[in-house]
Amino acid sequence: MSLLEVRDLHVTYPGGAAALRGVDLSLVAGEKLGIAGESGCGKSTLALALLRLLPPGARTGGQILLEGEDVLTMKWGRVRAVRWAGASIVFQGAMHSLNAVHRIGDQIAEPILLHRGASPAGARKRTGELLEQVGLPAARARAYPHELSGGQRQRVMIAMALACDPRLIVADEPTTALDVMIQAQILRLIEGLVGEQDVGLIMISHDLAVLADTCDRLAVMYAGRVVEEGPARQVYEDARHPYGRALSGAFPRIGDPASRFAPRGLPGDPPDPAAVPSGCAFHPRCPVALDVCATQDQALRAAGADRWAACVHVGSDGTGTPPADDTTSGGTASGGTPPARDEGVRSSTP
């Protein structure tokens, strides 16, 4: 059994904003899954949905199976028991997530007291052990959040996520606003802790290079859907969806001086979740779109060994990759017809 199975997950906010439009994902214990995409693609909504932390008024559909139990249908008492103990989250922006008027030791100890039934002395001892585990002196438990650096606060958030030995950790942009040296330290820390404790990790970021270096598998999201998934390094170096290719080319590559001067970025902006374009949501920005892309969406289909992409250029037999960007929007491919949906299709058709 997978540690986590997300099946056809939909999330709609008040006003009709479709933040997630049929997401399918799976994760086994000890595996690291990266989620990449621009701001507004649904990454953080997915993170919040996994632990039922969405704001009031959000409507959900589908299934989130955590060790076989559907989080979306749990009673609230069971949800409270699962949070921190079964699955925990490292929020982006530690300064906004920590309580400014409480010492960090008290904040780390709270879930231990609630979920483990520990004595105050036992919770303090466990708090000191967690701080040392993430590279901070146990004495820092008496500090307030404003007395710590950004990297230290992020380590505190990781210590909190580990407090009750969860089976799943969701890290939502855990290195945002940190300098590159501290980012590297935090990423290595998370990677090492996951390996030691055999927990599942979902790492969310806009940076494919970071995810390719940290994760085993990578899923690329656009407009509330997963449009590409596969081994992290392969997706980063040889994306099969044109959006994945654009993301991977958005940053210069170390050791490749020419990449510093290559054209970057895509025209336009991500679509409004309340007005997602018809057909493939990416087609208004896609440099290789065909006529059919404006009217017919594509489900994830086989794009190689353990690889999936939702693109008309990927054949139902797992062959093909988007052509060079000289294919203009509105052109027609040889034959002009998309591959059939009944062969090699993984996820449900939106």
Q: Percent of the chain beyond pLDDT 90? A: 61
What pLDDT shows up at residue 348? 44
What pLDDT shows up at residue 327? 38
Residue 59 falls inside a structural domain: yes
Closest CA relative to residue 310, chosen from 296, 329, 330, 323: 296
The token pair that represents 59 in the structure block: 């409507």
The token pair that represents 229 in the structure block: 């998934």
- Total domains in the chain come to 1
What pLDDT shows up at residue 12? 97
Residue 157 falls inside a structural domain: yes
Tens place of pLDDT for every residue, the chain, 350 residues?
689 999 999 999 998 999 999 999 999 999 999 999 998 899 999 999 999 999 999 999 999 999 999 999 999 999 999 999 999 999 877 778 899 999 999 999 999 999 988 999 999 999 999 999 888 999 999 999 999 998 899 899 999 998 999 999 999 988 776 777 878 888 888 888 887 778 899 999 888 888 998 999 999 999 999 999 999 999 999 999 999 998 888 766 666 666 555 555 677 888 999 999 999 999 999 999 999 999 999 999 999 889 999 999 986 555 566 665 543 333 334 333 333 333 455 544 33
**Could you tell me how many residues make up the chain?**
350
What pLDDT shows up at residue 210? 87
CATH of the domain at 262: 3.40.50.300
- Residue where the block lists tokens 């409004």: 272
d(CA 218, CA 232): 5
Q: Within 10 Å of residue 135's Cβ, how many Cβ atoms?
A: 14
Closest CA relative to residue 335, chosen from 305, 299, 292: 292
d(CA 195, CA 187): 12
Closest CA relative to residue 299, chosen from 315, 311, 284: 311
pLDDT digits (tens, 9 = 90+) for 47-71: 999 999 999 999 999 999 999 999 9
Residue 112 falls inside a structural domain: no
Residue 136 falls inside a structural domain: no
Q: Within 10 Å of residue 239's Cβ, how many Cβ atoms?
A: 27
Alpha helices in the chain (DSSP H): 43-50, 76-82, 94-97, 104-116, 120-133, 150-162, 180-197, 208-214, 232-237, 242-248
Residue 290 falls inside a structural domain: yes
Indicate the SS3 state at residue 186.
Answer: helix
Residue 334 falls inside a structural domain: no
User: φ and ψ at 11, to 5 degrees?
Assistant: -135, 125
Residue 25 falls inside a structural domain: yes
CB contact set of 259 (below 8 Å; sequence gap of 6+): 252, 253
Q: Which domain holds residue 25?
A: 2-101+144-309
Residue 135 falls inside a structural domain: no
| pTM for the model | 0.85
